[in-house]
Amino acid sequence: MGATARIAEFVAKSRWEDLPAAAAERAKDAILDTIGVALAGSVEPPARIVRNLIAEEGGAPRCTLIGVPLRTGAVWAALANGTAAHALDFDDTNFAMLGHPSAPVLSAALAAAELVEADGRALLHAFLLGFEVETTFGEVVNPAHYEHGWHATCTLGTLGAAAAAARVLGLDAARTQMALALAASQASGLKENFGTMTKPFHAGHAARTGVLSALLARDGFTASEQAIEGPQGFLKVLGGGRNVAALDTLGAPWKILATGIAVKPYPCCAMTHSAIDALLELGSQHAVRAEDVAAVEIGVAPVTPGILIHPRPQNGLEAKFSMEYCAAVALAEGRVGIGAFEDEHVQDALLRSLMRRVRMTVDPSIGGHQDRNAWSRVTLRLNDGRSLSREPQGPQGHPDRPLSRDQLLKKFGDCASRVLPASRISIVSEIIQALEGCSDLKGLAAALS
C-alpha cells in the first residue's frame, strides 16, 4: 500500500476509543489557544481584507467567521478563520513540522463541522488526525523542506487540513485518498513572504484548500492514487522525503504528545522567544534601563537568519521577524505584547536606537536538533563595563517549559477581549474545555460571532 493510501486508511478508520485521553486534553488546549488568537487576529488588516472580499463575493451563510457577525460558505470560512488565526503570528508551533499546526487544521475542521452539523467530539477527533498528518509529514521532509524555502504551515498544513476536513465530512478511505491527493497538488507557500500579509494568508489558504479538496473528493473528484509518494509527487517535488518510514508512526505515538505544541507567550516569530525570555529576565533581575545598554549579542542556530529576515523593519509585520526589534522592545519596555507590533510603534526613536546595538550571529553550538533551533545565547553588555549573560534554553511555552493553565487562560482572555465581552469569553472557554461532550457546535458558533 502506498503512502497516500496508508494515510487515508489511518484517517478514515481511526476510532475515538483508541485516542489517548492525554492527546484529547492537549488538543483542547490547542483549540482554545487558536480560537483566542483568531479572535484577536480578526481585527487585523489581513483578516479584514479577506472578509471584505467574502462580503463582495457572497457564499451560502452556513459557517461562522470568528469575531464578526457574518456567515459564509465553508471554503470561504476556512480561508477567513485561518488567516485571522495566523494574523498576529501568535498561534502555536511544532518543531517537527517547523510551522504552525493548529491554525490551518482547526479552521478547516470547524468549517466542515458546521457544514454537516457535527458534534464537539467529531471536531476534536478531526483536529487530532489533521495535526497527526501534518506533523508526521514534518518528520518525513524536514529540515530539507523548510530550508529550501517552503513555509510548512501552508505546505504541510494543507495536507493536515484535508485530512481533518475529510474526517469530519465522513469520507471513506478511498475518497479521503482523493482529498489528500488533490490537496497535495495545491500545497504551496514561500518563506520569502515572511513579514507580509501573505504569511497569515498561508494558514488560510491551507485551511481553504483542505475543505475544498475534501468537498470535491466527496462528490467524486479524482486525483492520482500516488500523489504523495509518486515519482513526480509531493515528497519528490517539495521536500526530498528522505524519511518516508516516519509515515509508519502515524498515531504511534501521537505527535501532539511526542513532539508537542509550543504555545506562544509573545505575538512574534518563535525564533525570537528564547532571546526575549533572556532579555526580560536579565533586565528585571539587574534593573537594566535602555540607556544602560552598550551592546546586545544574540547567538542563534544556523537556521534562524533565514527566518528573521528583517533586521531593520519598517512596519509591524516585518518587526515580528526581526530579532533586533524584538530584543529592543524587551529591553525598553519590559514586555512584548500585541501593541508592540503596531506600525507606528516600530518607528519609535528609542527602539530604533536600541536596534542598532543588537547583533545577531550564528552560534554553531546551538541547534542541530529541531526543538533546539529556537534557542538563543544572549549576552548583554552595559555602559558601566558589566556583562550579563544567559545560556541557551528552550523558550516559555516550549513543550519542555509549557505555559501553566492560568497562563493559557490569561492569554486566551486577553486575546478574546479584543472583540468579545467577558460573558462570551467565559462561554467559549467552558465549551472548549468540555468539547468532547458537546452535542452540537451551535453554541460555540454563536459565542464566537
Give me the CATH number covering residue 284: 3.30.1330.120
Do 77 and 216 sit in the same domain of this protein? yes
Could you tell me which of 342, 406, 435, 339 has the C-alpha nearest to residue 127? 435
**Coil, strand, or helix at residue 390?**
strand
406 in a structural domain: no
What is the mean predicted confidence (pLDDT) over 50-61?
A: 91
The tally of domains found in the chain comes to 2
- How confident is the model over 119-165, as pLDDT tens digits? 999 999 999 999 999 999 999 999 899 999 999 999 999 999 999 99
Question: What single-letter amino acid sits at 97?
Answer: M
**Distance, CA of 26 to CA of 104 (rounded, Å):** 17
379 in a structural domain: yes
Q: Identify the burial level of 446 via C-beta atoms within 10 angstroms of its C-beta, where 0-12 means exposed, 13-18 middle and 19 or more buried.
A: exposed
Query: Domain of 161?
Result: 3-265+413-448
Question: Are the C-beta atoms of residues 217 and 120 closer than 8 Å to each other?
Answer: no
408 in a structural domain: no
Do 11 and 148 sit in the same domain of this protein? yes
Give the start-end residues of each E strand in 149-268.
none
What is the rounded average pLDDT for all residues in the chain?
95
What is the mean predicted confidence (pLDDT) over 418-439?
A: 95
pLDDT bracket for residue 31 (50, 70, 90) = very high
Do 76 and 185 sit in the same domain of this protein? yes
- How confident is the model over 280-308, as pLDDT tens digits? 999 999 999 989 999 999 999 998 999 99
Q: Is pLDDT of 436 > 80?
A: yes
What is the domain-level CATH number for residue 210?
1.10.4100.10
Supply the pLDDT for residue 59: 81
pLDDT bracket for residue 20 (50, 70, 90) = very high
Question: What single-letter amino acid sits at 107?
Answer: S
- How confident is the model over 316-351, as pLDDT tens digits? 999 999 999 999 999 999 999 999 999 999 999 999
Supply the pLDDT for residue 241: 64
Do 279 and 365 sit in the same domain of this protein? yes
> Half-sphere exposure of residue 400, counting CA atoms within 13 Å on the CB side?
9
Instruction: Of 49-58, 236-245, 321-330, 436-445, give the range with the top mean pLDDT.
Output: 321-330
Q: By percentage, how much of the chain surpasses pLDDT 90?
A: 90
pLDDT bracket for residue 244 (50, 70, 90) = confident
Q: Which of 28 and 372 is assigned the larger pLDDT?
A: 28
Do 369 and 344 sit in the same domain of this protein? yes
- How confident is the model over 399-425, as pLDDT tens digits? 989 999 999 999 999 999 999 999 999
Do 291 and 165 sit in the same domain of this protein? no
Could you tell me which of 144, 162, 142 has the C-alpha nearest to residue 7? 162
197 in a structural domain: yes
HEC string of 86-134 equals HCCCCCCEECCCCECCHHHHHHHHHHHHHHHCCCHHHHHHHHHHHHHHH
C-alpha pair distances (Å), 323 with each of 189, 310, 328, 344, 354: 23, 8, 8, 18, 12
Do 40 and 180 sit in the same domain of this protein? yes
What is the mean predicted confidence (pLDDT) over 62-74?
A: 95
